[in-house]
């Protein structure tokens, strides 16, 4: 069975599948209908460009089925101004209400995050979602233990330890929930997970809840066996990123100025 097939009745002979395939698996055929080189199928990265580009829905793919590839709705296209405002409105939220984030919007955010690009389309990002505030606080505590154990630690760490000792969590900010992005240890895991976390953040913003990168926990999980054990990730996996999240205590009405883009044009 061919990995990709073309419906000869639907094909309109525009050759877009040939042009769109990044590894050139579709070729011209004397019949006028492009041919998929199944003998080279191992080169396919499963990107789905062939399915996504065909205006006649003539291309199907075993790894990227046409039936499971939703149509993009022109009516939902976001204007440049709206997209820019969404991006500018993202804030690192460090104060949360006790009210938990509802399950349905959280599921929508996680579903959106799976569309984040990954190196060679490997799609190896996994998520651990911790819903219980007590479990989140426990992870903040083991991170503090890691900070305490660092010999000659930078002075920058001291306020975080002092805050914990007086009952304040500056590590995970008392957030009710935590999402951990992890993947098998590989050269691209950190980048893949960082992009996925960014998608999570922006989708969460659109859904109305707030996020903040869990930088200390991410660093601790990669440096301390005790912290890694507390996460209990699958064997061979590493935490490459994560966000604390919840319903923000308050909203922001302005986008504070940032440094101008540092660009060299050539």
Structure tokens at 65: 């089925």
1 pLDDT higher than 90: no
Which three-class secondary structure state does DSSP give residue 130? strand
pLDDT digits (tens, 9 = 90+) for 125-157: 999 999 999 999 999 999 999 999 999 999 999
CA distances from 228 to 146, 164, 170, 221 (A): 11, 20, 20, 5
In CATH terms, the fold of domain 84-246 is NADH Oxidase (3.40.109)
pLDDT digits (tens, 9 = 90+) for 67-104: 999 999 999 999 999 999 999 999 999 999 999 999 99
pLDDT of residue 48: 96
Q: Cβ of 154: how many Cβ atoms within 10 Å?
A: 8
Q: Do domains 4-68 and 84-246 have the same CATH topology?
A: no
Q: Where are the domains of the chain?
A: 4-68, 84-246
pLDDT of residue 232: 97
Task: Give the global pTM.
Answer: 0.92
Average pLDDT, the chain: 96
Which three-class secondary structure state does DSSP give residue 256? coil
Class of domain 4-68: alpha beta
pLDDT of residue 247: 98
Please, how many CA atoms are within 13 Å of residue 194, restricted to the half-sphere of its CB?
A: 7
- Do 137 and 169 contact (CB within 8 A), yes or no? yes
CA distances from 260 to 245, 257, 263 (A): 29, 9, 9
Residues near 130 by Cβ (< 8 Å), separated by ≥ 6? 136, 139, 177, 178, 179, 180
Radius of gyration of the chain (CA): 23
d(CA 171, CA 214): 7
pLDDT digits (tens, 9 = 90+) for 235-246: 999 999 999 999
pLDDT digits (tens, 9 = 90+) for 33-70: 999 999 999 999 999 999 999 999 999 999 999 999 99
165 pLDDT higher than 90: yes
> Among residues of the chain, what percentage have pLDDT more than 70?
100
Structure tokens at 79: 């204007």
């Amino acid at each position: 069975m061919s990995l990709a097939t073309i419906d000869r009745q639907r094909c309109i002979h525009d050759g877009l599948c040939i042009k769109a395939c990044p590894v050139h698996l579709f070729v011209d055929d004397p019949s006028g209908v492009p041919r998929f080189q199944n003998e080279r199928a191992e080169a396919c990265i499963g990107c789905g460009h062939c399915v996504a580009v065909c205006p006649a829905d003539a291309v199907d793919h075993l790894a990227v089925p046409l039936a499971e590839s939703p149509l993009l709705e022109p009516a939902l296209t976001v204007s440049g101004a709206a997209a820019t405002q969404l991006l500018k409105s993202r804030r690192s939220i460090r104060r949360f209400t006790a009210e938990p984030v509802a399950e349905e919007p959280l599921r929508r955010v996680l579903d959106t995050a799976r569309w984040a690009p990954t190196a060679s389309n490997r799609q190896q990002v996994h998520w651990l979602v911790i819903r219980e505030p007590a479990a989140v606080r426990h992870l903040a505590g083991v991170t503090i233990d890691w900070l305490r154990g660092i010999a000659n630690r930078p002075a920058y760490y001291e306020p975080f330890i002092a805050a914990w000792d007086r009952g304040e969590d500056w590590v995970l900010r008392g957030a009710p929930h935590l999402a951990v992005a992890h993947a098998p240890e590989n050269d691209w895991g950190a980048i893949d997970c960082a992009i996925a976390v960014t998608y999570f953040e922006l989708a969460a913003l659109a859904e109305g809840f707030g996020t903040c990168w869990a930088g200390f926990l991410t660093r601790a999980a990669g440096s301390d066996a005790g912290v890694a054990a507390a996460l209990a990730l699958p064997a061979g996996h590493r935490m490459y990123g994560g966000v604390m999240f919840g319903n923000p205590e308050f909203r922001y009405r302005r986008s504070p100025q940032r440094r101008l883009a540092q660009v060299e044009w050539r």
